[in-house]
């Protein structure tokens, strides 16, 4: 091999080392379509395809069937599915076998307990009812006399699964990424927007004489604004984990702040009378203050009120 050929080979090797790995990587956002079935009996347990849900006799009335945005490596899919997506390309499709231990866990007979029947509401005392006992979610197996057997295993514990998927597109827009992440937690994606705001920040330092010097500078910050829906406000995961969810959003999307905006819609002035009379106001001082804004003699009206 000539010197030139050796130099070319070395250059090619250097390029290969510095070349970024092909395919999707940990932290990438992708939109996927999927259907999850049990391996043993081919039962559909989750899908983004409405026609598949209808064929499986799944109630479609209160569900949105559309592809989901997920983040690779964030625990949004089963670990074995995550592994299949790393290095894959947009457009890839396939089926991943998910063992029970990698899905909803192995079935544990010790999680089936006998409890007093009076711990279960009367309208839930039938086999298959979902019950909550001592902050544990379970399913009623049998109830005889004053005793009930409750299975606290996940309903799909011990089930091997098949995860059929298609990777539709990579998501680079941060607003779409944010909506997609929130959709994972909330089962529906709320309206979001990201704005860059300029804020003044103070820094304190010491001069040569040891005196404190306060300086201000303009700092740009990226803020995610989330429009809170009624369903979001009632969502238990959001209610109890909003701080962790916000931290996850800020960390993955390089945001400085998350602001949740509550929107109250409606019209008319019908509620003002109740406000003046029933929400801690309604005294003479409130009326007098209100009358200062209109062209009437406030003192005269207040005298008439006192006379009554």
pLDDT at residue 61, rounded to an integer: 78
- Written as six digits, the tokens of 273 are 């009378």
Q: Are residues 115 and 98 in the same domain?
A: no
* Helix (H), strand (E) at residue 144: strand 136-144
Residue 122 is part of which domain span? 109-151
Q: Are residues 178 and 166 in the same domain?
A: no
pLDDT averaged over 10-residue windows placed end to end, the chain, 308 residues: 61 56 89 96 94 89 86 93 96 96 94 91 89 89 91 94 97 94 85 93 82 87 91 83 91 94 67 45 48 48 52
Quick one: how far is CA 149 from the chain centroid?
A: 34
How far, in Å, CA of 67 to CA of 79, rounded? Answer: 19
CATH code of the domain in which 40 resides:
3.10.50.40
Residue entry with tokens 């098949």: 162
Q: Are residues 163 and 235 in the same domain?
A: no
| H-assigned helices in the chain | 3-18, 50-55, 79-85, 174-186, 230-234, 236-253, 272-278, 284-291, 298-307
Ramachandran region of residue 75, left (φ > 0), alpha (ψ -120 to 50) or beta? left
Q: Are residues 165 and 252 in the same domain?
A: no
| Residue at 117 is within a domain | yes
Q: Which residues, other chains included, contact 171 with Cβ-Cβ below 8 Å and sequence gap of 6+?
A: 29, 30, 31, 69, 177, 180
pLDDT at residue 68, rounded to an integer: 93
Helices H, strands E: what count in the chain? 9, 12
Q: Are residues 48 and 166 in the same domain?
A: yes
On whether the CB atoms of residues 104 and 111 are closer than 8 A, the answer is: no
What does pTM read for this prediction?
A: 0.69
* Cα dihedral 182/186/187/191 (nearest 10): -50
Q: Are residues 166 and 144 in the same domain?
A: no
Q: Are residues 222 and 246 in the same domain?
A: yes
Q: Are residues 69 and 209 in the same domain?
A: no
Number of folded domains in the chain?
4
| Residue at 6 is within a domain | no
Buried-exposed string 190-216: b where 16+ CB fall within 10 A, e elsewhere: bebeeeeeeeeeeeeeeeeeeeeeeee
CATH code of the domain in which 123 resides:
2.40.10
Quick one: how far is CA 291 from the chain centroid?
A: 47
Q: Are residues 286 and 241 in the same domain?
A: no
SS (H, E, C) 76-110: CCCHHHHHHHCCCCCCCEEEEEECHHHCCCCCCHH
How far, in Å, CA of 308 to CA of 305, rounded? Answer: 5
SS3 percent helix, strand, coil of the chain, rounded to 5, is 35, 30, 35
Summarize pLDDT for 28-39 with one digit per residue, the tens: 999 999 999 999
| Residue at 8 is within a domain | no
pLDDT at residue 134, rounded to an integer: 85
CATH code of the domain in which 242 resides:
3.30.300
Q: Which residues, other chains included, contact 265 with Cβ-Cβ below 8 Å and sequence gap of 6+?
A: none
On whether the CB atoms of residues 46 and 78 are closer than 8 A, the answer is: no
Residue entry with tokens 């799944």: 58
How far, in Å, CA of 280 to CA of 257, rounded? Answer: 35
Q: Are residues 218 and 188 in the same domain?
A: yes
pLDDT at residue 276, rounded to an integer: 43
| Residue at 42 is within a domain | yes
Summarize pLDDT for 106-126 with one digit per residue, the tens: 999 999 999 998 898 888 889
| Residue at 268 is within a domain | no
């Amino acid at each position: 091999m000539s010197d030139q050929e050796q130099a070319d080979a070395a250059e090619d090797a250097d390029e290969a080392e510095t070349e970024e790995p092909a395919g999707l990587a940990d932290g990438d956002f992708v939109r996927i379509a999927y259907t999850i079935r049990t391996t043993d009996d081919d039962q559909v347990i989750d899908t983004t395809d409405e026609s598949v849900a209808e064929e499986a006799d799944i109630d479609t009335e209160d569900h949105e069937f559309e592809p989901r945005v997920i983040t690779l490596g964030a625990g949004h899919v089963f670990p074995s599915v995550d592994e299949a997506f790393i290095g894959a390309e947009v457009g890839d499709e396939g089926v991943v076998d998910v063992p029970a231990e990698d899905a909803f866990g192995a079935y544990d007979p010790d999680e089936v307990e006998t409890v007093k029947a009076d711990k279960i509401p009367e309208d839930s005392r039938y086999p298959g009812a979902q019950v909550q006992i001592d902050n544990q979610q379970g399913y009623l197996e049998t109830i005889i006399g004053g005793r009930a057997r409750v299975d606290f295993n996940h309903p799909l514990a011990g089930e091997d699964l098949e995860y059929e998927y298609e990777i539709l597109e990579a998501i680079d827009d941060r607003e779409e990424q944010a909506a997609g992440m929130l959709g994972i937690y909330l089962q529906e994606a709320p309206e979001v927007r990201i704005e860059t705001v300029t804020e003044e920040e103070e820094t304190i330092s010491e001069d040569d004489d040891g005196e404190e010097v306060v300086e201000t500078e303009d700092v740009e910050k990226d803020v995610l604004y989330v429009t809170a829906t009624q369903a979001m406000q009632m969502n238990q995961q959001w209610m109890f984990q909003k701080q962790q969810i916000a931290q996850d959003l800020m960390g993955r999307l390089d945001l400085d702040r998350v602001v949740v905006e509550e929107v109250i819609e409606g019209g008319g002035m019908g509620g003002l009378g109740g406000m003046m009379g029933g929400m801690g106001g309604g005294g003479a001082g409130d009326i007098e203050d209100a009358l200062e804004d209109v062209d009437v003699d406030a003192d005269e009206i207040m005298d008439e009120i006192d006379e009554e």
